[in-house]
Copies of this chain bind each other. A is one copy, B any other.
Amino acid sequence: MSEKKEKVMVGIDLGGTGIKIGIVDLSYEMIAQTTIPTRAERPFEQVIEDMGKAVLALLEEHGYETADCLGAGVGSPGTVDSKSGVVLYSNNIRWDNVPLAKELAQYLPVPIYVNNDANCATLGETVKGAAKGCQNAIFLTLGTGVGGGVVINGTIFEGGHPGGAELGHIRIASEGRKCTCGREDCLEAYASASALIGDAKKMAEKFPDSKLWELCGHDLEQMNAKMPFDAAQAGDICGQALVEHYIQFLADGITDLANIFRPDMIVLGGGVCAQGERLTNPLNEYLRENCFGADVSYVPKVVTAKNGNDAGIIGAASLVGTAQGTQK
């Protein structure tokens, strides 16, 4: 008889180029992980077969039987029907109505949970991360776009119909700035990393004496979301104006979400978060002053995400843990 092993959970982060697979313990500590190529151009059956077999191989390699595994969570890009485990639509991996949970169960005889990847990341930060222990949290990713998720009473809020909780697509201004969604003046059009980079390019082009122009090596194509912050830090007025403008709009979006959800915490993810307190301090200050009823009600704290590169795996595994109430 084999030694009695501690139970584990599997997290699967399905991406456009790679599938990250991890085994975690009940405290979401990483035991082992691997990555296999997605090769999403293949029929979905083959992608999922590879996924299932890679999980089994990883479990076996580390001495676990499927009986030791409480379940597997999958974070998928796109729109997911979490009840049926079907990926309704994903532009990223070009899937359309793929019965992911059902297919995967053929190879992996454990309970399988599927959800949108941003939702998983949100839940992950509440089980191990910046919002650990919080029953109510909002996660905003500041990347190419502004995405995110909402956790209410310890579970993912998915909206009344698939496609809900599009936190980046709330209107926060009336300046006529076009958003990728077709509407004008969405939060995403001001607070995404892309928006900041676009603004920084315009600014650097206009002010060739600026530190900003120097930082990008006099090549607008080299501009990134860190440079405005670095320029601001160095006293550059262009950088300071950009950062102030960026934070103002982000603060307004965050205040809207705080007024609607009144969560314990608002967690920020994405590259811009490397700025840490340079970003969160002014946001928290704005929230304390502008959140509705700030003098009598709870004001949520703004923090940066903590799960980093493991966010996808931990988030996916947290689907298992929260569904089964396994947290140690």
Contacts and interface: CB of A to CB of B under 8 A. Distances in A.
Q: How many copies does the complex hold?
A: 2
Interface string A153-171: 0000101111111110111
A127 to B, nearest CB: 16
Nearest to A252: B171
A260 B165 contact: yes
A309 interface: no
Interface stretch (A203-211, A293-301, A320-328): A293-301
Given A169-B259, A292-B169, A297 B174 contact: no
Contacts of A136: 159-161
Interface size class of A (residues with CB under 8 A): 35 or more
Nearest to A153: B160
Question: Is chain A's binding surface mostly helix, strand, loop or mixed?
Answer: loop
A152 B163 contact: no
Contact of A298 (B163, B174, B262, B263): B163
Nearest to A289: B182
A262 B159 contact: yes
A174 B251 CA distance: 13
Given A183-B290, A296-B89, A261 B172 contact: no
Contacts of A89: 296
